[in-house]
Structures are given as structure tokens and as C-alpha cells.
Amino acid sequence: MSNTAISVTDLSKKYGERMAVSHATFEVPLGTICGFVGPNGSGKTTTMRMLLGLITPTGGTGEILGESIKHPEKYLPRVGAMIEGPAFYPALSGKENLNYLANLGGFSTDRVQHLLEQVGLGDRAKSKYKTYSLGMKQRLGIAAALLPNPKLLMLDEPTNGLDPEGIQEVRALLRSLANDGTSVFVSSHLLSELELISDYLVMLRKGEVVFTGKMTNLMLSQQPVIIAKGESDDDLVALLSIAEIAGHRAVIRDGAVHVEGPASWAVDFNRAAFDAGITLSQLTPQLPNLEETFFEMTGEK
């Protein structure tokens, strides 16, 4: 049995002359939470749609839970998904919508009420979907994705429209599902959230995979940064020049100097600043976070 939840090789989708996804190759191990990131229009949703059999790839191959994506009927009963936001019948209640999907997939409707309670919609189960707030719709979408008791959960921007408490609940839910052995493939623009929960990461840029692997590997591969500030903004240019003379790349960003270099150089930097008559008000060695890495790798911002 395959130990990957998702495995794609050279997966491509072309619309006219535009390559929406170009030769994407990546793997998502079983039982992990894999973040799927990329700027708007980078091909995340198109890739997810191909994996779910909603659109036909122009080229390449893929496997979900060991089955070819050419035969979605073989793996979809074990996959839960919410793609491009929740979509339900407005005139039916949340519960009726889930019962409809449970009937459709041949699942028991016994789990419906439990799932509604799990996502915090227990008391609004009988309200019509059209009366739900954006956050409630999102929660219903997540409940629908959980209907088949999935081995693989694919969620496209599941935290859209959720308040901070809701985001925290989704994070905890995904973590608990992963702990129980469910593989989670989740796209989100909230990179700080993904950084907190993801074990793996697939990063897309203009339809191409620019990184795939363990989150820790990505973060460790990044050049550490020393962030320094003087007592006044006038010191920034002088600090920049000290770093550059020492052979380090540096930029002024957000009212501080960001210097690429090992944490150990912070001592030398402090001494050089002192010799130049600058008293530092901040000197922080740190690894870039996912957001900074994302911008670095995708060339955004």
C-alpha cells in the first residue's frame, strides 16, 4: 500500500494558451497536514479540482490514496473536500443540505447532527442556509467535507470568513484529525495559520511548484536574519552600511535594518555599531517566518 496521500507527476492544465498548472510534481505523505500555498491565480484551486476529478488534466499523472486520478470513483468515497468556498442549496437548512449529500454519497445520516455540533452549528441546524453568515457557511462546508469520515481531507481556504475563535477551532480540528490518521491538504492565504499547523508544504508560483517538502526543511534552508534598530531612524543608514561593509546583504524594512547572516554575527554587529557611536534599541536574530519565505520564493510584494 502506498504511503502517500497525494502523489502527482508533471500534472498540467492548459486553458487556451495559458498554463494554469505546469508540470506540477509533489507528494503528500499519509497522516500529515500539508499546506498548499501560492499567490492568487497560481493554480492551487485548479490543482485541487484535477485531484477531485472535476476537471481533466491536460497532461501528467496523479494518485490519491493509491488510486489513479483517472478513476476518481475509486478514491472519492474516502475523500472529503471543500473547494472554492461552501456551496449549498439556499432554501434547505444546514441539516437538510448535509442529509442530501449523505444520501448522495451513500453515507449514514446518523453522523449529520454530530458533525453539525462538531463545527459549532448544532443550534442552527434547522435554519435555512441562506440565513447563515459567511463564517457559518464555511463551517457547514467543513462539516460536509467530514461526512465520509475521510482518509484525506482537501480544503480550499477553510478559514475564509471565520472569526479568530473560529480559525482557532478549525486549526484544532485539523490537528486532531491528523492525529487520528487523516491526511489534510489545505490551502490558505493565512500563512501564519499554516505555519502553525502544517507538517508539509507545497508552494506554487504561476502554476509551477517552487517548493515541496517538510515545513521544517523549508524554514531551516532560509538564511537567518538579524533585525536591528538604533535609537533614532537616522541610524538606519549607518547600520545598513556597517552590515554591507562586513559582507552581509541588508535592507531597511518596517523601520529596522534586516541583515542576512548567522545569529553569531549579532555580537560583532553590536560592537561595530557601538564603535560607530550608535546605541541599539533592538537586536534580534531570527529565522524568517513562512510569510517572509513565501514572499521571497514567489517573488510577491
Partner 1 sequence: MWNIVFSEIRKLRRPTLFLGTMGAVVFFSALFSSLLFLLIDSPQGNSDRGRVVTREVLSLATGGVQGFSSVGGFLGIIALCVFAAQTAQEYTYGTLRNILVRQPGRLRVLAGKFIAMGFFALVMIVLSAIISVSASVILAPRAKVSSDLWFGADGRHALLTTFINIIISVIGFGTIGMVLGLLLRSPISAISFGVLWLLIVENLLIAVKNSLEDWMPGAQLAAIASGGAPRGIGTGIEYSHALTVGGLYVALGAVVASILFVRRDVSN
Positions touching partner 1 (CB under 8 A) are 49, 52-56, 72-73, 76, 79, 81, 83-85, 87-92, 96, 99-101, 103-106, 144, 147-148
CB of 91 to partner 1, least distance (A): 6
Secondary structure (3-state) at 247:
coil
Min separation Cβ 20 and partner 1, Å = 10
Taking 3-state DSSP, the helix, strand and coil percentages for the chain, each rounded to the nearest 5, stand at 40, 30, 35
How far CA 149 is from CA of 1, 78, 111, 158, in Å, comes to: 20, 7, 9, 17
Cα 225 from Cα 207, distance rounded (Å) = 29
Beta carbons within 10 angstroms of residue 130's beta carbon: 12
Give the nearer residue to partner 1 in terms of CB position, either 84 or 199. 84
Which of 96, 291 has the CB closer to partner 1? 96
What's the count of helices (H) and strands (E) in the chain, helices before strands? 11, 14
For partner 1, give the closer residue by CB, 147 or 178.
147
**Residues written for the chain:** 301
Closest approach of Cβ 85 to partner 1, in Å? 8
Q: Is the CB of 153 or the CB of 197 nearer to partner 1? A: 153
CB of 169 to partner 1, least distance (A): 22
Number of CB atoms found within 10 A of residue 297's CB: 16
CB 12 within 8 A of CB 163: no
Comparing CB distances to partner 1, the nearer of 79 and 218 is 79
Q: How far is the CB of 171 from partner 1 (least distance, A)?
A: 24
Measured from the CB of residue 285, what is the shortest distance to partner 1 in angstroms?
Answer: 46
Closer of 48 and 215 to partner 1 (Cβ)? 48
Contact 208, 234 (CB under 8 A): no
